[in-house]
Structure 1
Amino acid sequence: MTENFPPLSEHGRAAATFAEAEDALLSRWPETRLEPSLDRIAAFAELLGDPQRSYRVIHLTGTNGKTSTSRMIDSLLRAQELRTGRFTSPHVEKMSERISIDGEPLDDEAFVRAFNDVAPYTHLVDADQPHPLSFFETIVGMAFAAFADAPVDVAVIEVGMGGSWDATNIADGDVAVVLPVGLDHAQYLGDTVDAIATEKAGIIKPGSRLVLAEQSPEAAAVLLARAAEVGATVAREGVEFGVVGRSPAVGGQTVSLQGLHGRYDDLFLPLYGAHQAQNAAVALAAVEAFGGDEPLSDDLVREAFARVDSPGRLEVVRRSPTVVLDAAHNPAGAAATAASLVESFAFSPLIGVIGVMGDKDVEGVLAAFEPEMTHLIATRNSTPRSLPAAQLGEMAREIFGEDRVTVVESLADAIDLAATLAEDGQAYGDSIGSGGVLVTGSVVTVGEAREMLKGRDVMRTDLKGNDR
């Protein structure tokens, strides 16, 4: 990928540093500006030599759980000594998290190299198409090319949004994985479950294997019809595979899973919640479907699940008081997070810090958290898309009541106040030291909180003045 470059132009300039590569990518159309076409990414990939055709692919879509499931699939594949590429989005803290090889995100040097390998071709596509390449299309091209250069044996690819018109869909998945489909991104994908399912069904390719998480009847009908249309072989959660049993454990949970070709009992999964157990069952079925007709080694499965992590998904980042980060940003995700907190943590009081994007179902998210949160601190993250804290506070008071909501503009100060309230549990009639803090509402909010909290020993002192 590094030979015979066309001459560089201002639009296809090389980057000397990570910051320069990041700036060049962010100068393109944002992920929220969509024009439904695969023409640009297909033209881009063709100029790059169609790298997505040089390895096998497991392709994932769905409303919630894609990133965690992708990470579990990646771990199971690497346990079989396969070299993996993984593309996920959005990132939590750093853009390079989106492209991983052998389970590790590209370091700064590798990310710059990946950008420079494709940059000379971006302006050629821009000049030839009615619209320029977007940020997302460009980073998808980077990932596909980096995986080919590595080279990897298999790429685990998470869609950015939807399926049919997502830039990742120029790759043909040997296995298509559809996590639960619900209402999200309605302004882009449609305002009914069957409309959204129709869009997501586009990743199911002729002759592939479809691994289908538990779905609503409306979504299942659409997805199964697509599978029948293209001759895909179907494996359904709750029928061909699923969770047999689970129980909370220190640092996560113990799960027993029925796979497509075998049963795997008493596996330790260092992630919290029934939804993560279901994600594990889906990941196991996807890897079994990818590999053929033989069960996986019990030791291999046990080792792979034990080493899984998923940053920003019910992630404990502090103790005394405990601070948990979770990227739930729609009602279904918020409900799963709330249930998991009750099961695994039992905080009393639980202080919520929420910053959401303005285009989300904010009322639905707030309603899902209301029964479990003692007090809510409405705040915002640093992006223009973030709902203003005062507006979020107004909406929250309609659901939580006047006395259970505080508005704090700065995310850092909001976390600081939440920690104080959680520690001083007696203010809510609870014992000191039993409280916890949940920071949630958006991947961006969680990423900014994670960066603030990382490496800090005295949270309330160190957070002062660090408003993003």
Structure 2
Amino acid sequence: MTYEESLSYLANLNKFGINLGLARIEKLLELMDHPEKKFKSIHVAGTNGKGSTTAMLASILNNGGIKTGMYTSPHLAEYTERMIVDGQEASPEEFAQAIAYTSQFVDRIVLQGFDHPTEFEVLTAAAFYYFASCEVEYAVIEVGLGGLLDSTNVIMPILSVITNVTLDHIDKCGSTIEEIAHHKSGIIKQGVPVVTAAKGQALEVIIKTAQEKSTACYVNGQDFSGTFLGMEEHYQKVGVKLKEQEEIGNFAVNLLGAHQVDNCAVAVMTAVILGKSEKRIDLPAIEKGLCQVCWPGRFEIVSKSPTIIIDGAHNPDGARALRENLDQFYGHKEIVFLLGILQDKDVKTIVTTLICPEDKVVVVAPISQRAGKPEDVAREIQAAYIEVAHSINEGLQKAKLLAGEGNVICIAGSLYLIGEARKIICK
């Protein structure tokens, strides 16, 4: 199977949609001799920030001299981004080999009467196989959707992380914070410590689940906390303390945005807990890991002339964080948005949170079967100037014309959109 053939194979699996449940992947991994049991893992869930936190933790482990896998989704430009070992994406050949190997077991479980595995189940099983074949010691695994019934929830991690809980994927995980928190807290395992930055009713659900699982729960703002200390070149400085005000350290973090302060604190607390049993995770490893962490597409500056920022901001909480960061770092500039949102998202809340009346907006469809019609998205926007583009390339050119000299273009609303835009801008 070539890389192109592996992509065609995965594309053909889209017809099976999102089908939550663990029976299929459990059987698939059983037939594959349980690759997920051949390395230690850290499991990361949350509505926002789970990707950034996953990247921070993987970078910390790497800088402790530990061979580390990182599994994330979705990708921005290429599927190979989902399977990373020691900071390097799987090569197209390695990716194709992992998919080809997994596909033979897919055929076998279908013959045994199971429903056909979904694309995400195949990718997850292939990633576990790839990490095992690379002989990683640890893997940091990001949840795809929810937690309880997510395909990644077949692992037995040594630590669990829930960054936060807000309303998202209400069609799959429930329409209330408590219901969604129930899904997120589904990754908590018996006796496995959990670290979280959740608040309010969501936190109550997580603490209750941890108690039921007889495990410790470390809460941001109670057991530990992070504080923004200022900027230093292109890093933001974050101080992290334990509840007794014992300072863990002040860290230069290579990810911008106020929301990264909590993510950093969660990653540091997780690393400190891990360091009690894994001596290679010490303060220098944490410092270097946060300084070197890279997580493309999250308040990422991809061009300085003109200034172009890309950020997924694919739900209301992400939109709120992006708007705060734009106001903090570029409040004196005019903002031109290139915006595309999936139709199953809370479009109205996203646009009212993200767009100010004085902004200019170009609306385009992300490259996804779930893309919302640009005209429908545009009708929800109240802004100084709104127009629709028929392609991402066209939308980018329109945004550049509107921005002119010295202003800021922000591409947001969907990871599918920013991935394609990033490919165009960075080629």
Is TM > 0.5 for Structure 1 vs Structure 2?
A: yes
Once the two structures are superposed, the pairs formed by residues 20-419 of structure 1 within 5 Å of their partners are 20-29=5-14, 33-213=17-197, 215-258=198-241, 263-292=247-276, 297-346=282-331, 348-371=333-356, 374-396=359-381, 399-400=382-383, 403-419=384-400
For the residues of structure 1 that align with 2:311 and 2:216, how far apart are their CA atoms?
A: 34
Unpaired stretches in structure 1, ≥5 consecutive residues: 1-14, 424-432, 456-468
For the residues of structure 2 that align with 1:313 and 1:244, how far apart are their CA atoms?
A: 20
For the residues of structure 2 that align with 1:70 and 1:360, how far apart are their CA atoms?
A: 23
**Partner residue of 2:422 out of 431, 436, 450:** 450
For the residues of structure 2 that align with 1:210 and 1:158, how far apart are their CA atoms?
A: 14
**1:3 aligned partner:** none
Contact 1:257 1:281 in 2 (8 A): yes
The list of structure 1 runs, each at least 4 consecutive aligned residues, that deviate by more than 6 angstroms after superposition, is: none
Give the secondary structure class of the aligned counterpart of 1:27. helix
Contact 1:29 1:133 in 2 (8 A): no
**1:421 aligned partner:** 402
Contact 1:210 1:235 in 2 (8 A): yes
Q: How many residues align?
A: 425
Whichever residue aligns with residue 235 of structure 1, its letter is: Y
Give the secondary structure class of the aligned counterpart of 1:82. coil
Contact 1:259 1:281 in 2 (8 A): no
Q: CA deviation at 1:344?
A: 2.2
Contact 1:288 1:295 in 2 (8 A): no
Contact 2:403 2:409 in 1 (8 A): yes
After superposition, the Cα gap between the structure-2 partners of 1:389 and 1:134, relative to the gap in structure 1 and judged at 3 Å, is: same
Contact 2:57 2:140 in 1 (8 A): yes
For the residues of structure 1 that align with 2:101 and 2:184, how far apart are their CA atoms?
A: 30
For the residues of structure 1 that align with 2:153 and 2:14, how far apart are their CA atoms?
A: 19
Contact 2:76 2:416 in 1 (8 A): yes
Give the secondary structure class of the aligned counterpart of 2:202. helix
For the residues of structure 2 that align with 1:155 and 1:222, how far apart are their CA atoms?
A: 27
Q: CA deviation at 1:246?
A: 2.5
For the residues of structure 1 that align with 2:104 and 2:281, how far apart are their CA atoms?
A: 43
For the residues of structure 2 that align with 1:296 and 1:246, how far apart are their CA atoms?
A: 24
After superposition, the Cα gap between the structure-2 partners of 1:209 and 1:104, relative to the gap in structure 1 and judged at 3 Å, is: same
After superposition, the Cα gap between the structure-2 partners of 1:36 and 1:372, relative to the gap in structure 1 and judged at 3 Å, is: same
For the residues of structure 2 that align with 1:73 and 1:419, how far apart are their CA atoms?
A: 36
For the residues of structure 2 that align with 1:154 and 1:372, how far apart are their CA atoms?
A: 47
**1:436 aligned partner:** 408
Whichever residue aligns with residue 195 of structure 2, its letter is: V
181-190 or 384-393, larger mean C-alpha shift: 384-393
Q: CA deviation at 1:130?
A: 3.9
Contact 2:64 2:280 in 1 (8 A): no
Q: What percent of counterpart residues are identical?
A: 29
State the TM-score, normalized to the length of structure 2: 0.95
Q: CA deviation at 1:379?
A: 1.4
Q: CA deviation at 1:34?
A: 2.8
Q: CA deviation at 1:438?
A: 0.1
After superposition, the Cα gap between the structure-2 partners of 1:73 and 1:373, relative to the gap in structure 1 and judged at 3 Å, is: farther
For the residues of structure 1 that align with 2:50 and 2:358, how far apart are their CA atoms?
A: 26
For the residues of structure 1 that align with 2:211 and 2:399, how far apart are their CA atoms?
A: 51
Unpaired stretches in structure 2, ≥5 consecutive residues: none
Task: List per-residue Cα deviations over 1:395-441 (Å, max 9, x = no partner).
Answer: 21xx33xx422222222121111112211xxxxxxxxx331000000
Whichever residue aligns with residue 334 of structure 1, its letter is: A
State the TM-score, normalized to the length of structure 1: 0.87
Give the secondary structure class of the aligned counterpart of 2:380. helix
For the residues of structure 2 that align with 1:248 and 1:373, how far apart are their CA atoms?
A: 28
Task: List per-residue Cα deviations over 1:112-170 (Å, max 9, x = no partner).
Answer: 22122222211011222441011100111101111111111111001110111101001
CA RMSD of aligned residues (A): 1.9
For the residues of structure 2 that align with 1:96 and 1:199, how far apart are their CA atoms?
A: 28
After superposition, the Cα gap between the structure-2 partners of 1:337 and 1:297, relative to the gap in structure 1 and judged at 3 Å, is: same
For the residues of structure 1 that align with 2:210 and 2:82, how far apart are their CA atoms?
A: 29
43-52 or 270-279, larger mean C-alpha shift: 270-279
Give the secondary structure class of the aligned counterpart of 1:118. helix
Give the secondary structure class of the aligned counterpart of 1:86. strand
Max Rg structure: 1
